[in-house]
């Protein structure tokens, strides 16, 4: 076996694994992504690829040869950056590789909520008549969409909503968007008051945790739709359940939710459409992301700091 081993914490596309093998790196599949198991299997490995399992301080402490942790995706909040810095280990992400896939799901969730597609399916399967007369349906066309986070995914979604549905696009983002058809909206609550659709596409950071809280939800335009394809922590789920029950929101499409989502009553809200973090799981996106993660591993092991490294300063730290 090659002495260049890469621990694969969670399943990735075969194209990425083959890219590693082609460059003399041996993928080693971890039996489980829990950090206790990872810590037992990381010794001897020079690299690791993780998805949403992250990589914690225990795993970094157990690593004796680790040089790089490649994140399969753009979100890196489950990776302990302080522990990586102490260990002198690079962290590299794959931003943009699944943006189209995630944006398409966000659009699908918006349409599913607006047209009550899951409930309609259940009514048909249950032989219940009168469904279409019992529920209010809405159109996206001609409305206003607020995109929270104008990265690759937010931009892709905004483009689809503007071009296909003629929606006015407001972007809540630190930087002013370069697109002429996008209005910069630095005041989130003021933008929410205008929105027919709000999509969360921002990273989870201390300042964005519970960005959509009770105060933000009270600022929503009555009857608006919320979509979250980013991180569960962006939303106060108890406050969201209250807003849905009160009718302040028409519905929500959630590709991400906490393990305890039902405690706030969300599972009891029939205006919520759940998907199990499907955003980046199209075949094309999985291939692109796995290959990009493998390329980050290969670059780091060849002595090059990947362009998407989030902590390049650790490269010069003595091991």
CA distance 29 to 176: 42
CB 39 within 8 A of CB 61: yes
Same domain, 133 and 196: yes
CATH assignment of the domain containing 130:
3.40.50.720
The pLDDT mean for the chain works out to 95
Other beta carbons within 10 angstroms of residue 262's beta carbon come to: 13
Distance CA 68, CA 84 (A): 9
The residue assigned the tokens 């199209």 is 282
Quote the pLDDT of residue 2: 53
What is the Cα Rg of the chain in Å? 21
Is residue 308 located within the same domain as residue 238? no
Identify whether residues 290 and 267 lie together within a single domain: no
Co-location of 168 and 231 in the same domain: yes
For residue 124, the model assigns a pLDDT of: 92
Q: Are residues 122 and 144 in the same domain?
A: yes
For residues 4 and 297, is the Cβ–Cβ distance under 8 A?
no
Specify whether 122 is located in the same domain as 234.
yes
Statement to judge: residues 24 and 77 lie in one domain? yes
Q: Are residue 72 and residue 26 in the same domain, yes or no?
A: yes
Which residues form the domain of 26?
Answer: 5-97+283-316
The count of C-alpha atoms lying within 13 angstroms of the C-alpha of 263, restricted to the half-sphere facing its C-beta, is 5
Same domain, 267 and 293: no
Say if residues 157 and 106 touch (Cβ distance below 8 Å). yes
How many other C-beta atoms lie within 10 A of the C-beta of residue 313? 10
Q: Are residues 103 and 93 in the same domain?
A: no
Q: How large is the greatest C-alpha to C-alpha distance in the chain, in angstroms?
A: 70
The reported pLDDT for the residue numbered 1 is 41
Q: How many domains does the chain contain in total?
A: 2
Q: Give the pLDDT means over successive 10-residue stretches in the chain (319 positions).
A: 86 98 98 97 98 96 97 92 96 96 98 95 91 89 98 97 98 96 98 98 94 98 97 95 95 94 82 94 97 98 96 77
Q: What is the pLDDT of residue 19?
A: 98
Tokens 């789920």 correspond to 237
Tokens in use for 170? 């407001």
**DSSP states along the chain:** --S-EEEE-S---HHHHHHHHHTT-EEEE-S--SHHHHHHH-TT-SEEEESTT-B-HHHHHH-SS--EEEESSS--TTB-HHHHHHHT-EEE--TTTTHHHHHHHHHHHHHHHHTTHHHHHHHHHTT---HHHHS-----TT-EEEEE--SHHHHHHHHHHHHHH--EEEEE-SSPPS-TTEEE---HHHHHTT-SEEEE-PPP-TTTTTSB-HHHHHHSPTTEEEEE-S-GGGB-HHHHHHHHHHTSEEEEEES---TTGGGGTGGG-TTEEE-SS-TT-SHHHHHHHHHHHHHHHHHHHTT---TTBS-GGGGGS--
Q: What is the pLDDT of residue 261?
A: 85
Would you state the pLDDT for residue 227?
Answer: 98
- Structural contact between residues 158 and 169, judged by C-beta atoms closer than 8 angstroms: yes
- Position 264 scores a pLDDT of 74
Segment 182-186 long-range contacts (CB within 8 Å, at least 24 positions apart): 182/150, 182/158, 185/146
Say whether both 178 and 149 belong to one domain: yes
Does 142 lie in the same domain as 41? no
């Amino acid at each position: 076996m090659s002495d260049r081993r890469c621990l694969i914490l969670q399943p990735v596309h075969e194209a990425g694994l083959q890219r590693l093998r082609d460059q003399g790196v041996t993928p080693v599949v971890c039996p489980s992504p829990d950090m206790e198991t990872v810590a037992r299997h990381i010794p001897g490995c020079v690299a690791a690829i993780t998805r949403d399992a992250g990589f914690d301080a225990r795993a970094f402490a157990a690593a004796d040869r680790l040089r790089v942790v490649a994140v399969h995706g753009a979100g890196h909040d489950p990776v302990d950056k302080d522990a990586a810095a102490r260990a002198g280990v690079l962290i590299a992400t794959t931003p943009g590789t699944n943006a189209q896939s995630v944006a398409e799901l966000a659009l699908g969730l918006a349409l599913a909520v607006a047209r009550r597609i899951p409930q309609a399916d259940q009514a048909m399967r249950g032989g219940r008549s009168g469904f279409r007369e019992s529920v209010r349906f809405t159109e996206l066309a001609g409305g206003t969409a607020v995109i929270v986070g104008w990265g690759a995914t937010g931009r892709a979604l905004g483009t689809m909503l503007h071009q296909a549905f003629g929606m006015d696009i407001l972007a809540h983002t630190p930087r002013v968007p370069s697109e002429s058809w996008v209005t910069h909206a630095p005041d989130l609550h003021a933008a929410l008051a205008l929105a027919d659709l709000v999509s969360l596409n921002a990273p989870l950071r201390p300042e964005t945790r519970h960005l959509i809280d009770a105060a933000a939800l009270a600022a929503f335009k009555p009857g608006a739709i919320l979509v979250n394809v980013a991180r569960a922590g962006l939303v106060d789920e108890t406050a969201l359940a209250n807003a849905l029950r009160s009718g302040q929101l028409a519905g929500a499409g959630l590709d991400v939710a906490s393990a305890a989502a039902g405690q706030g009553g969300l599972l009891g809200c029939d205006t919520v459409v759940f998907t199990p973090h499907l955003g980046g799981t199209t075949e094309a996106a999985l291939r692109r992301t796995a290959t990009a993660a493998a390329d980050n591993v290969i670059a780091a092991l060849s002595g090059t700091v990947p362009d998407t490294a989030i902590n390049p300063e650790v490269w010069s730290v003595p091991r």
